[in-house]
Chain A
Amino acid sequence: MSETPIQATAGPARQRLSLGRFRDLALVPAILVLIVVGALVDPVFLSSANLINVLQQQTELSLLVLAESLILIAGKFDLSLESTVGLAPALSVALIIPAASHGLGTELPAWTAVPICLLIGMAVGAFNGFLILKLKLSAFIVTLGMLIVLRGLQIGFTGGQNLFDLPLSFTYLGSAQWLGLPASVWLAVVAFALGIVLLAYFRQGRALYAIGGNVDAARAAGIRTDRVVWTVLVLGGLIAALAGLLMTGRLGSVAAAQGQNMIFTVFAAAVIGGVSMDGGKGTLFGALCGVLVLGLIQNILTLGGVSAQWIQAIYGVIILVALMLARLTSGKAQD
């Protein structure tokens, strides 16, 4: 009797297995191809100014993708992240600036703006968690509702106006340069590095996969499933608020529509990067690759001189095509 699996000596099977290890890298060739295409479309593409520009523009998106991926892996949803990107900075700024600049009249000290902004994000996540976990409402509809409510709140108290008169501390992170790169790029890199390590090498991170993969089994293994999911939702809100902060700093104002329509791109990047909408599957490295693919495509379209009226339609089509290509290269069904 033998307890060892019978080994096939055939070559192809072995090869397939070793390739499987690198499924994470499936998008890397696509990124290389896009870089070549970009260089052919316009030599400016390869200039460091342009590349840094691409990176900086993608930091906010990449942070949202990071947050959404954590939530998706844990088997839940959060559509309201895009509204948090607008509401958290808008509300925290409004609490500080004078009523004349569309403030709320509270005129809190300027240093409180950043912490309040992050706290608002966490509060939104916590409230979503309450509705989803305690009241057991559908995560999809709850966060869709929150998406609309939060955007409505922002428009309500700003009167639909953009907020300009921002404290310096508030715009610092989004506009500073550290070691020749925008600070926001460093932040995104650090956030992804932490996330990748957390998900691969920490019990708390692995708990997300267990919960998303089979919540009953996770519970039976002693994982406090509700607490973990709640934490992830709060963390997601926090990261979205941070993304909003960076975007505000980069643009120098809080637009009434800040973050609007980002969520489609967020989901597309995550799914292209191999994160499953069913939970329990995917990696942050893959999600990051998904962001880069979309960022490069967008940049190439702009450089290629696609007219502003058409860019949205073309971008949407290209995302759908990218989904199909990702399905082909990874060989895995997306769900």
Chain B
Amino acid sequence: MSTATDLPPAAGVRLAVQAHGITKRYGRTVALNQAKISIVDGQTHGLVGRNGAGKSTLVSILTGLQAPDEGTVAFGGEPAPPLGDRDAWRGRVACVYQKSTIIPALTVAENLFINRQSLTGGSLINWGRMRRRAGDLLAEYGVLVDPARPAAELTVEQRQLVEIARALSFGARFIILDEPTAQLDAAAIDRLFARIRALQHAGVTFLFISHHLREVYEICQTVTVFRDARHILTSPVADLSQDRLVDAMTGEAVGLRQVADRPAVPDSAPAVLAVSGLGLADQFTDVDLTVRRGEVVGLAGSASSGKVAVGEAVVGLRRPDTGEVRVAGQLIRPGSVPHALAGGIGFVPEDRHREGLVPLLSVAENGTMTIADRFGRFGAIAPGRRRAAAQRFITDLAVKTDGPDQPVAGLSGGNQQKVVMARALANDPVVLVLINPTAGVDVRSKETLLDVVDQAAASGTAVVIVSDELDDLRPCDRVLVMSHGRVVRTVARGWTDNELVAAIEGMTAQSAGQPGGGSDAGSGGSPAGAADVNVDADVSADESSGENSGV
């Protein structure tokens, strides 16, 4: 590619990490093809690329989980240690992986200090001290949970923060963060960035992976783009406009397009989803929500607002204490997913690893799991028909895969998310409930997914999008903002980013200049847009986290 620029480090610049000529294959797929990266000591280096570009594969090589088929890795000029020497790797690099590595059965404290429980290097574990240290550490990230509780009780966001706190506390001089912000709300991202800046001041080097380009502009000094398993360019972020960055990622000179405007839904359109008086102890109270035919309604709020729980109650993943859910007038039995599906609800659950996918099963099987009864009589499944259905969604949603029979565990994170979306759409739902639907999805694929949502709405589906990402909320006709378990505001269509962010944070809008270069408000919006709004400290204080109950 002609725009490829690879800046050789100026004389005297020390490289914290250098990987060269890296090739990695999985069966027929080439995940990395002669890829390279050089990270200058003390910098925060962004790594961006579309889903399946090979970012996480590079991470696994840089952290010694896998050996590359070809190529070399060096830390500070010295060759990387052998794979078996975990201690040596741990001294050189710490990492937040894209997929959770929290062990649910262990306590939060033990997860934080796993395999270094004694804290002093002795062999006796001082549980009391470990819990105190854990409590202090978590407080810095605004995670107010008892460190003695099992990690299984944490919300998705809290788990992510525990991972981050753990990686940052190793004292490693080089830290990799693979999509750390995909599950975080704006306030938590702010705290994370504050920590990163402080550590960078103290000389720590970061490799930061995100699909939110605005975050890259905000926190990184240099950015590297991968595409189709190759290194495309490395450049100081200040020299690269967002449009050029997107072009490099996609290989097309198109940039991002503006959201198409659907015509407003007429008041006469019949209500399809009617939620009234919905309540669940410790989560939300008295939520009313009506979505008309063809309407897209957003449900926004911070992590502790209860918005995810409302979405889960509507689709039957949780059983509400009070209230009812009706689809086209018909009552949906509370807490029953099969009923919700039969009633015409399709949904994307919050965490694809926990509730979205069966990793060992194929792409086809995962994507059609909700409609397995449609491929034949008496439960028989005609494999040809299922494969054809799978092939359709693979094309429609641009899933990057070897084919319908590939186990879904072999897909990149963003492509797994697309399979979950396919499963939601599979039963031609009249109501779609999407919880963080684009988590981990690249900029262009996000457009594809939101286009699909748009089309569904245009054909009469009532859509609820539960998210606090501005990009996800853009197609909405109105956005309900929740706080502490109640709907506190309704924001009508035509909002500006700052208005909505302010509403979510419970503050009045204040004009905020954008940091970094090249980010224009129309395209790359993300929670980081909230970065300049001062946020009150208690937003992610989550007193109730019985996430795993009620299913």
**Which A residues are within 8 Å of any B CB, using their own CB?**
1-8, 10, 13-14, 16-17, 201-204, 206-207, 209-210, 213-214, 216-224, 280-281
Contacts and interface: CB of A to CB of B under 8 A. Distances in A.
A216 B423 contact: no
Contacts of B538: none
Nearest to B369: A221
A6 B30 contact: yes
Given A201-B383, A280-B358, A206 B25 contact: no
14 contacts: A1-B227, A5-B30, A6-B228, A8-B25, A8-B30, A16-B27, A203-B379, A206-B372, A210-B361, A216-B355, A219-B337, A221-B370, A222-B341, A222-B342
Given A209-B361, A214-B358, A220-B337, A203 B372 contact: yes
Contact of A210 (B341, B369, B382): B369
B381 A202 contact: yes
Contacts of A214: 354, 357-359
Contact of B33 (A6, A13, A16): A6
B358 A213 contact: yes
Contact of B252 (A1, A4, A16, A210): A1
A6 B381 contact: no
Interface of B: 25, 27-30, 33, 50, 52, 227-229, 250-252, 317, 337-338, 340-342, 347, 349, 354-361, 365-366, 369-370, 372-373, 375, 378-383, 398, 400-402, 423, 444, 551
A74 to B, nearest CB: 12
B83 to A, nearest CB: 17
B360 A213 contact: yes
A201 B358 contact: no
Contact of B356 (A1, A2, A10, A217): A217
Q: Chain B contact residues: over half helix, strand or loop, or mixed?
A: mixed
Contacts of B358: 209-210, 213-214, 217-218, 280
Contact of B379 (A4, A7, A204): A204
Contacts of B423: 221
Of A2, A201, A217, A224, the most chain B CB neighbours within 10 A belong to A217
A10 B69 CA distance: 13
A5 B379 contact: no
Given A13-B25, A213-B358, A217-B369, 12 more contacts: A1-B228, A5-B402, A8-B30, A202-B380, A203-B375, A213-B359, A214-B358, A217-B358, A217-B366, A219-B355, A222-B340, A281-B360
Contacts, number: 113
A217 B358 CA distance: 6
Given A210-B358, A213-B358, A13 B27 contact: yes
B400 A1 contact: no
A203 B252 CA distance: 42
B195 to A, nearest CB: 31
Given A6-B29, A8-B25, A8-B28, A220 B361 contact: no
Given A214-B359, A222-B338, A5 B29 contact: yes
A220 B381 contact: no
Contact of B380 (A3, A201, A223, A224): A201
Nearest to B26: A13
Contacts of A201: 380-383
A252 to B, nearest CB: 39
Contacts of B373: 203
Given A5-B400, A203-B373, A222-B338, A217 B28 contact: no
Contacts of A2: 228
A216 B360 contact: no
A217 B228 contact: no
Given A13-B28, A203-B379, A210-B369, A220 B355 contact: yes
Contacts of A203: 372-373, 375, 379-381
Nearest to A279: B360
A159 B478 CA distance: 76
B80 to A, nearest CB: 25
B381 A5 contact: no
B511 to A, nearest CB: 37
A297 B551 CA distance: 47
B400 A3 contact: yes
A209 B358 CA distance: 8
A3 B53 CA distance: 10
A279 to B, nearest CB: 10
A220 B338 CA distance: 8
B140 to A, nearest CB: 31
Contacts of A206: 361, 365, 372, 381
A8 B373 CA distance: 37
Given A201-B380, A203-B381, A222-B337, A3 B398 contact: yes
